[in-house]
Structure 1
C-alpha cells in the first residue's frame, strides 16, 4: 500500500473515531425536554422559500429549511419540533441545536421563561461539544451569548450580546442572506422603546429592503420589514410588503395577521379586517389540529385587531360578534405565553371605552382563564383602567378611587421588578394611572389638577412606543385630553389635541369625531365639514348605528 493511501485511511479512521466520540450521549439528549411530534401545518404547507446552507446531512436539509421558515414566521413550537427531527436523524448536526435555541428565544416577543433559558443553555452545551466548521461555530457562539450566565445577567444585556455577535457574522459572511436577516431580527429586539428616531428599525429596514428583490418569497425578509416599520413614522414604507407577506407564507396564521400591523398604523381598516379574518380562520385550523377548543393565542390576537378595526369603522355589531366568539372561553393556550392574556383584557375594555359606554366600563368583570390575573399586571391594568374611567364618568367616585388604588399597586409592583424589557408596559400603566386620576379630579370639579395630570399623561405617551402586541391603546391619552378640553369649552385647544392624535393614529373614529366637534364649536365650519365627511366615509360600509354618524350626516345635510 502506498504511503499516501495509508495516510488517507488513517485520516478517515481518525475522523470517524472523532465523530463517534463527539456524538451526544443518549442520556444527555433524553434529559432535555425537547418538543416532539407531528408538525401542525395547516393549509397547503407553504411557508415561503429559503435555502440555509448550514444544514448538515443532505437528507435532513428539507426539514431544516422548513424549520427555519417556521422560525421566521414565529411558529416557534413547530419550528422546534422540526429542528428536533433533524437532531433525531443527525445528532451531530450543530445547527439543529442552534435552531432549538433560537426557537425558544422569541427575539421579538416576551423574554423566555427561566425554564426555557435553562433548556437553551443545556441545548447549546451539547452543541458546543460537536465537531463543526468555523461558520457553524460562529452561529452557535452568537446565540450562546444570549444564554450565557442568564441567571445573573438581565435580558436586555444578553439580547445586546446576541445582536453584537450577529453583526460580526453579518459583516464576516456578506453572501449569507440568513446572517443578514437574523441580524435585523437582533436589531429589532434591542431597539429603543422610547423616542421617534427608530435608529435600529431604519438600519434593519434598509438591510432587508436590499435583500427583498433577490429573495422575493423569503418569509423572514417580509416579516421583519413589517415589524421594523410598525410605527407611526415608518409605517408607510411597509405597505407594499404588508400586501405581499400573506401570499409568501399562506399556511402561517401569523403571516396572515402581520400585514394588519401596517394597515392599522395607516388606518386602512378594511384590509386589516380581511387580514385578521384569514388569520383567525387559520388559527382555528391549528386549534382543530391540536385538538383544543379554548382561547388560542393566534386566534385571540387576530380578534383583538379585528375588534379594533371594526370599532374604527363604527361597526359595533361585528365587533360584538367577534367578542362573543371568545367570551365563553374559560381556559387559554399556551399557558406560558403572557401575550395570550392581553386580548382577553383589552377586547371588552375597548368595546366599552371606544363607545364611551361608561356604565358598561364600570361594571366590567375579568374573564376566567384558569390563570391568576395578578401574574399579569400589564394586562390586568387595562381592565382596572377601564373600570376607573367608567366609574368617574358615572360619578361612582368610591369605585373610581378603588380602581385607581389597584392601578397604583400594579404600577408600583412593575416598577419594583426593575425589568428594562418591560419599559413600554410600565409606561403604559403609568399613563393609564395618570389618566384615571386626571378624570376623577376633573369629574369632581377639580379642573386644575385634572388637566395637569392629563397633560402629564400625554407627555409620557409622546415618548412611549406602542407595544407590538397591541393594535392601539384602549383610549389614547392625547384623545382624552381633547375630550377634557372640549368639556372645558376650549375647542381650539381640543382641536390641536385631536389632530395630533390623528397624525399618529390616522382614521380613528373618536379622533375624527372629536376633531369635527372641536372645529364646529370653534366656528371653523370648513374643517368641521372636512372631518364629518371623513367620518361618514369611514363608516359607509359598516351599517354603523353610532349616534356620531347620524350627527355627521345631519351636519352635512344642513351645511
Structure 2
C-alpha cells in the first residue's frame, strides 16, 4: 500500500472515530422530563389556526421551527395552555432545544395576568433546571437566565421582586441584541408586568409603548406587538394611541378568543360601544369553540370575560334587553375553567350588580344573590365585595339602613382579607374596596339626612378614585364614584357642581349613558340650555339603533321637542 492510500485510510478512520465520539457525546433526554406534568395533546386551534406572523427559532432544529414559532405566537396571544403544548411538542422532537424549555417556563409565568400557582412555580423551576444543563449559545443562555431569575428562590422572594428581576434581565438582552425583535417585545411585556398598577403616571406603559410602536411599522402582522400595545395603552391617557392597533389585532390572530376580545379594552376606554360589542361577540363565540374542542367541564373564562364587556357596552347604549340576554347565558352555570382565575369569578359578581346599579334599580340591587357555583366565594374577597357593595347601595336608596350598616362591616372585613393576602397584584382591588366602603358610608349618611357628612365622604371617595387605576379585568367600575358624586350634588340642587362632576366622569369614561344623562339634567337645571340640548342629543345618538326601554330617553325627546330641536 502506498503512502497516500495509507494516509487516506488513516484519515477516514480518524473521521469515523471522531463522528462516533461526537454522537456518543450528544446529550440524551433528561430522565427528569418524565417527572414533569407537561400539558400534552393536539393543539386546540379554532377557526383557521391563524395566530399572526413571526420568526423566533434561534438555534433549535430546522424540523421544529414551524411548531416553535406557532408556540411563540400562541404565547403572545395568551393562549397559555396551547403554547405550552406546542413547546412540549418541540421538546419531544428535539429534547436538546433549550428555548423550548424557556417557552414552557414563559407559558406558566403569565406575565400580564395573575401570579403562577405553587405547582406552576415548582414545574417552571424543574423545567429550567433541565434547560440549564443543555448545550447552548450565549444568546439562548441569556434568555434562559432571564426567565430563571423569576423562578429562582420563589419560596422566599415575593412575586413582585422576582418579576422585577425578570424585567432587568430582559432589558439587558434588549440592549445587548439590538437586532432581536423578540427581545424588544418580551422586554415590553416585562415592563408591563412591573408597572405601577395603582398610579396614573404610566411610566412603564409609555416606555414599552414607544418600543412597540416603532416595531409595528415594519411588522404589522406580529401578534405580540399589537397585543402589548393595547395592554400598555389601556388607560384613559393613552387609549387613543392604540385605536388603530386595536382595529387590526383581531385580524392578525383571528383564531384567538383573547385576540378577538382585546381590542374592546380600547373601544371601552374610548366609548366606542358597537365596536366593543362586535369584538366580544366574536370573542365569546371563539371561546365557546375552544371550550367544546377541549371538552372542558366548565365554561372557558374568556367567554365570561367577554360577556362582562358585552353587558357593560350594551348598558351604555341603553340596551337592557341584550345586556340581560348575555347574563342569561351564564347565570345558571356552575362550573368554570379555570375555577380560580379572576377573569372567571369577577364577571359572576359584577354582571348582576351592573344590571341593577346602572339602571338605578335599587330594589333589584338590594335583593341580589351570589350565583350558586362550585367554588368558595370567601376565596375571592374583591369579587364578593362588589356583590355586597351593590346590595348596600340598593339598601341605602330604599332606606334599609340596618342592611347598609351590615354590608359596610362585611366590606371592611373583605378589605382586611385583601390586605392580609400581602399580594401586590391586589393593590388595585384593595383601593377599589376602600372606595366602595367610603361611598357606601357617604350614601348611608346622606339618606339619613346628614347631608354635610355624606357629601364630604363622597368627595373623599372621588379623590381616592382619581388616584386609582382601573383593573384590567374589568371594563369599568360598577358605578364610578365621580358619577355618584354628581347624583348627590343634583339632589342638593348644586347643579353647576353636579355638571362639573359629570363632565369629569365623561373625560375619563367617554359615552357613559348615566354620565351623559346626568350632564344633561345638570345643564338643564342650571339654566344652560345649549349644553342641555347637546347632551340630550348625545344620549339619543348613543342609543340609536337599539330598542331601548330607558325612561331617560323619553325625557330627552320631550325636552328637545320643547326646545324645537329635531330628533
TM range (shorter): over 0.9
Match of 2:516 among 493, 512, 519: 512
Superposed counterparts of 1:543-558, under 5 Å: 543-558=547-562
Q: Could you tell me whether the CA contact under 8 Å between 1:19 and 1:131 is conserved in 2? A: no
Superposed counterparts of 1:226-241, under 5 Å: 226-241=230-245
Asked if 1:39 is matched to 2:43, the reply is yes
CA–CA separation in structure 1 for the residues paired with 2:435 and 2:20: 67
Asked if 1:249 is matched to 2:244, the reply is no
Superposed counterparts of 1:48-447, under 5 Å: 48-54=52-58, 56-292=60-296, 294-447=298-451
**1:389-408 Cα deviation digits (max 9, x unpaired):** 11111111111111111111
SS at match of 2:109: coil
1:469: Cα distance to partner?
0.8
CA–CA separation in structure 2 for the residues paired with 1:17 and 1:391: 77
1:525: Cα distance to partner?
1.0
1:44: Cα distance to partner?
0.4
**1:416-465 Cα deviation digits (max 9, x unpaired):** 22222211111111111111111111111112221122111111111111
SS at match of 1:104: helix
**Aligned length, in residue pairs:** 556
Please name the residue that 2:468 is paired with: 464
**1:132-183 Cα deviation digits (max 9, x unpaired):** 1111100000000001101111111111100010001111111111111000
Please name the residue that 1:18 is paired with: 25
CA–CA separation in structure 2 for the residues paired with 1:55 and 1:203: 30
CA distance 1:12–1:169, change in 2 (3 Å): farther
Q: Could you tell me whether the CA contact under 8 Å between 2:288 and 2:299 is conserved in 1? A: no
**1:101-150 Cα deviation digits (max 9, x unpaired):** 00010011011111111111111111111111111100000000001101
**1:494-519 Cα deviation digits (max 9, x unpaired):** 11111111000000000000111111
Q: Could you tell me whether the CA contact under 8 Å between 1:24 and 1:126 is conserved in 2? A: no
**1:309-351 Cα deviation digits (max 9, x unpaired):** 0000000000000000001101111124232101111111100
Please name the residue that 2:4 is paired with: none
**Structure 1 spans left out of the alignment, 5+ residues:** none
Query: TM-score, structure 1 length as denominator?
Result: 0.97
CA distance 1:314–1:52, change in 2 (3 Å): same
CA–CA separation in structure 1 for the residues paired with 2:29 and 2:134: 8
Higher alpha-carbon Rg: 2
1:291: Cα distance to partner?
2.0
1:90: Cα distance to partner?
1.2
CA–CA separation in structure 2 for the residues paired with 1:10 and 1:239: 62
1:13: Cα distance to partner?
4.8
Q: Could you tell me whether the CA contact under 8 Å between 2:366 and 2:390 is conserved in 1? A: yes
Please name the residue that 2:545 is paired with: 541
CA distance 1:447–1:7, change in 2 (3 Å): farther
**Structure 2 spans left out of the alignment, 5+ residues:** 1-6
Q: Could you tell me whether the CA contact under 8 Å between 1:454 and 1:481 is conserved in 2? A: yes
CA–CA separation in structure 1 for the residues paired with 2:123 and 2:455: 50
SS at match of 2:42: coil
Q: Could you tell me whether the CA contact under 8 Å between 2:71 and 2:84 is conserved in 1? A: yes
CA–CA separation in structure 2 for the residues paired with 1:367 and 1:356: 21
CA–CA separation in structure 2 for the residues paired with 1:53 and 1:34: 21
**1:60-118 Cα deviation digits (max 9, x unpaired):** 11111111000000000000011111111111111111001000100110111111111
Please name the residue that 2:501 is paired with: 497
Q: Could you tell me whether the CA contact under 8 Å between 1:212 and 1:221 is conserved in 2? A: yes
CA–CA separation in structure 2 for the residues paired with 1:453 and 1:76: 43
CA distance 1:226–1:125, change in 2 (3 Å): same
Q: Could you tell me whether the CA contact under 8 Å between 2:177 and 2:183 is conserved in 1? A: yes
Q: Could you tell me whether the CA contact under 8 Å between 1:331 and 1:368 is conserved in 2? A: no
SS at match of 2:240: helix
